[in-house]
Amino acid sequence: MTPKITHIETLLVDIPTIRPHKLSMTSMAVQTMVIVRIKDDQGLEGLGEGTTIGGLAYGPESPESIKTNIDHYLSPLLIGQSLASINALMLRLHTSVKGNSIAKSALQTALLDLQGKHLGVPVSTLLGGAIHSHIPCLWVLASGDTDKDIAEAKALMASGRHCDFKLKIGSRHVKDDVAHVAAIKAALGDGASVRVDVNQAWDEATATLGMAALQAAGVDLVEQPTPAKDIDTLIRLSHKFNIPILADESVADASDILALVARGFNGGIALKIAKAGGPIDALYAATVSSAAGMGLYGGTLLEGSIGTAAAIHAWSTLPKLHWGTEMFGPLLLKDDIIKQPLNYHNNGVDVPQQPGLGIEIDEAKLAEYQRK
């Protein structure tokens, strides 16, 4: 008999970060995850996660709204339904509930985990099959202190854990930010790729000044320098410099990417399962991006191990990730709520091979960090 969904539970989980993580719009010292547990009438459970950055500082969904909307609007549409078709279940959600991509991504992830456990295959198999067993993963230098960032990067390079680095900038004057980045690039040399994420902080004049200086400093990539809705500026900048631009907040799903490319953008695309609405939808976005000749990058909303594992499974099915990934979220947290952490080594992370997401909840840790 095909399993039917019987129960859906959501939990808010707060875990401190190993250091303050500074972005242009906020600074965070604790990450809040919405953990989803879907149970069926055959006794199995699927795990999902919905996570954002800094409450409402980053986007329109907060951890509290994600939980509320799953509990009151989305879960009732799934309870009692067959697990036979995840696409049919997601269509049911999309028909009745607009937006809420992070909440839907958490549910889609849990459904994939549950189905994978029933079939005895990893989520990557459900998504078409893994091409890679190990994917590259950069580290974000976001302390804001130049000497600390240099020391941190050199230690990670020496250990073999990371050789690519992204710097969060945009909260200071552009000349100060550029000096910070240039000093780090000079200290790390050609053995490290250095990129920056401006998180929408610059206007066109500032971006023109900043990107010229960053290009001269040897920076490899500039992510979302201007506001998400200022598409025309993003397109003009993509034609003005040799240094590539990565579109992130400007694009969420396949239709956004198609519209951006049709208007002349020629940079790269940051894929995120959360903003697309789940791993399946993120791979739709990847197909459109690849067809348009856009370079791909596996992005994160700083998910913990559950959300990160889901994204890793998705990215493992892509033939090429031109700019690698940033699936470092669990490493930013002081603790974890799964029994066996993801395996980070050799400048990347292994793709889990066990059924479903390939991870198991540590009930004691979950209880410790669950918001009371």
Strand 295-298 with 344-345, pairing: unpaired
> Pick from 311, 235, 291, 299: which is nearest to 267 by CA?
235
| SS3 label, residue 186 | helix
* 117 is an active site residue: no
Q: Which of 168, 185, 272, 275 is catalytic?
A: 168
Rounded Cα distance between 65 and 80, Å, is 24
- Token pair for 314: 């998705």
* 104 is an active site residue: no
Q: Sign of the C-alpha dihedral, residues 285, 287, 292, 296?
A: positive
CB 127 within 8 A of CB 149: no
Rounded Cα distance between 333 and 329, Å, is 7
| SS3 label, residue 276 | helix
> Pick from 171, 182, 251: which is nearest to 212 by CA?
182
CB 337 within 8 A of CB 366: yes
Give counts: helices (H), strands (E), the chain. 15, 13
- Token pair for 198: 């401006």
Rounded Cα distance between 142 and 22, Å, is 5
Give the contacts of 155 (CB within 8 A, at least 6 positions apart).
none
CB 165 within 8 A of CB 138: yes
> Pick from 235, 153, 243: which is nearest to 196 by CA?
243
Return left, alpha or beta for 341; rule: phi > 0 is left, psi -120 to 50 is alpha, else beta: beta
Rounded Cα distance between 370 and 34, Å, is 10
Task: Please identify every residue annotated as catalytic.
Answer: 168, 326
